[in-house]
Amino acid sequence: WWYDIYGVADVHAEGWTGKGVKIAVIDSQINPDLPDFQGADLTVAEGSACVGKDPSTSVASAGAQHGSTVTAMLIGNGTGVAGTKGIVPDASVTFYGLGATGDCEPTAEVKDSGHEPMGWMIQRAIDDGADIITTSTVVGVSTVADVETIAELVAKKIPFVAGNPNDAFKEGALPAGFAGVVAVSAVDQEGKLPLGALGVENQIGETTVVAPGVDISTIGDGSA
């Protein structure tokens, strides 16, 4: 629904397709072999942040579906089961897989860096030359090294787009809550904020913009 309501096709017709832009997507996992990504400029960065997890997988899971879906919303070609067409189909996307968003045992490399898994991936994206960094996962970013990384991307004027929690009463608000980060809250087809567990609108004070995040068709295993 968001593709038509936002007039994405009209924007593409004007020549705004993301060509020449390097986007880093940080999420749990992705299935890069889905038909949605055929012909797209998609790279999966090696190594996850969690022990025993790979950044890519063909096994259907909540994490793989989430990472695949948000990436398809950027560069999907519309041929998959959900028909997802990307907002910036000509952009170059590198996917950085955390490996998990819960029950994650950080790898030795992450521990040695002084970062939380999310902060480590943000630093990797900066070092790899990302023009834009985006994440829709809400996980810990709290160490001194993490804060220094956020400060670095702000100083370098690298836009960092981070999703707010879907229920502010149940989850934290980092990394979206940091100053200098574009904090995004989900809205439905009518532009309304979703209700949290207590039946209250998910109003978060740090919100910069809102974007489609309710009733989104998901992908992840090639069959559903």
> Considering only CA atoms, which of 136, 116, 126, 124 is closest in space to residue 182?
136
Q: What is the mean pLDDT of each run of 10 residues along the chain (224 residues)?
A: 95 97 96 96 96 89 90 96 94 95 89 95 98 91 94 97 88 86 95 88 91 87 42
So what's the pLDDT on residue 222?
42
Buried b / exposed e over 45-55, threshold 16 CB at 10 Å, is: bebbbbeebeb
For position 8, what pLDDT does the model report?
Answer: 97
